[in-house]
Amino acid sequence: MRRFHFVIACLLALSLATAASAQVFQPQSFTLKNGMQVVLIPNHRVPVVSHMVWYKVGSADEQDGRTGLAHMLEHMMFKGTKTIGPEEFSRLVAANGGQENAFTNQDYTAFYQNVAVDKLDLMMRLESDRMANLALRDQDFQPERQVVIEERRMRTENEPDALLMEQMRAALFLAGGYHHPVIGWHQDIDAYHIQDLVEFHRRWYAPNNAILVVAGDITLERLKPLAEKYYGSLKPRPVPERIRRPQPTPVAARTLIIRDEDVHQPSWTRYYLAPSYHVGATGDADPLQVLAEILGDGATSRLYRSLVVDQKLAAAVSADYDPDSLGETVFALSATPQPGVTIETLQAALDKALKEIVTAGVTAPELARAQHKLRAAFTYAKDSYTAGAMVFGQVLTTGGSIKDVEAAPERIAAVTLDQVNEAAKRLLRDERSVTGLLLPAQPGDATVAQDPDAKNGHGLLGGNVK
């Protein structure tokens, strides 16, 4: 299955984009004549490179009724071109000692290979070939559609926590492409045809809509002629404008509950509709990253110390926020109760702790500790030849620039206590939230089937969802 789960990498990227030291990656960049941007992140610790091609298209760029096309096309990119057969791409990468995969997000799709530096020439030849010469055949598409449907069943429809997250996101984003899941709705996957994929590839997979990021043991003098040889010869095409309009003004808190016989550990999750670097109160993006660190990142965070250590109500608690989004984004909090503690008790304690943040604010020591942790994460990331490629790809495909990445350390260092506290007040409002409760099934629970092909036992109570 080609959908690459890279939660840890995304969290690392978030830390990297918020740390404190100028010019850590020393990136170099140039643009080919066809409009394709190339970014080099030198790292000469080991003789390997990470070769990544990022496309400025994701699930949020799809049309209603055709959800999941970006992810489906990611799968089909491994099904051969006019010159190589199905799965030959992966065989060649493996035969040359490389590792490869791909992943799709709401805002981007990326393909990568980690190989010895002397294999970079081959990787560029293969990747540029499928950008320009992908062979989309119905005989390959039909079985791969079933693979994706099975992936959806296994990872979402038969996983109560994933199903809840999907429904929470749909309830939080009432309009636009962020409303639907990256993998697509089941009925849409069933309905589209090979021609939909042909048109999607033609519309978005152009060199002027892609970014090549190469990180590792290579110099600009060696990279530039290779990029010009393989990617520079590809013809540019007009690409559609990517639109991310602000969400309708939220007016009511929403709560979703899923009860399932497979749930043995209840959980509490809350999503807040949050600004990104590009939509909403964009000046809050850096303070909210600091707030997420203060609230729920690690054993020294406020919620962990209060709910896990002091009150012993929670077994785990976390916070997450990623402002690198073309549209509005999610500020997420999650917690699991200790055995014997009810969800109601845990939620009451969480609501009280969040109210204290709004009324009393965070403290200067908490701010300093959060900034220090982010700096440390950034410093450690320099040792990884893949981390920088992840950061720059994510930032550049979501409307940011190289300067934004390099200036992030100073921005975070400049965040003040007042900025964090004011951002928290604007964010932590009931009407901006969707709360999700995952609970064990009980006799007599009402259930609502989410999909006729999903397994029995899922129940969804309340909420304004699709």
How far is C-alpha 212 from the chain's CA centre? Answer: 19
CA nearest to 237, candidates 57, 386, 110: 57
Name the catalytic one among 62, 74, 157, 366. Answer: 74
Contacts of 324 (CB under 8 A, 6+ apart): 13, 14, 17, 276, 277, 394, 395, 398, 400
CA nearest to 295, candidates 284, 303, 287: 303
**DSSP state for residue 242 in the 8-state scheme:** P
**DSSP state for residue 134 in the 8-state scheme:** B
Q: Tabulate helix, strand, coil % of the chain (nearest 5).
A: 45, 20, 35
Q: What angle do CA 240, 244, 247 make, to 5 degrees?
A: 155
Contacts of 350 (CB under 8 A, 6+ apart): 268, 270, 303, 307, 333, 335
3-state secondary structure of 465: coil
Measured distance CA(282)–CA(134) in Å, rounded:
39
User: What is the H or E stretch that residue 378 is in?
Assistant: helix 364-381
Listed in order, strand segments (DSSP E) in 322-400 are 329-337
Listed in order, strand segments (DSSP E) in 45-192 are 48-55, 99-104, 109-116
Residue 356 designated active-site: no
The angle that helices 69-76 and 138-152 make with each other, rounded to 10 degrees, is 120
Measured distance CA(466)–CA(463) in Å, rounded:
10
Residue numbers annotated as active site: 74
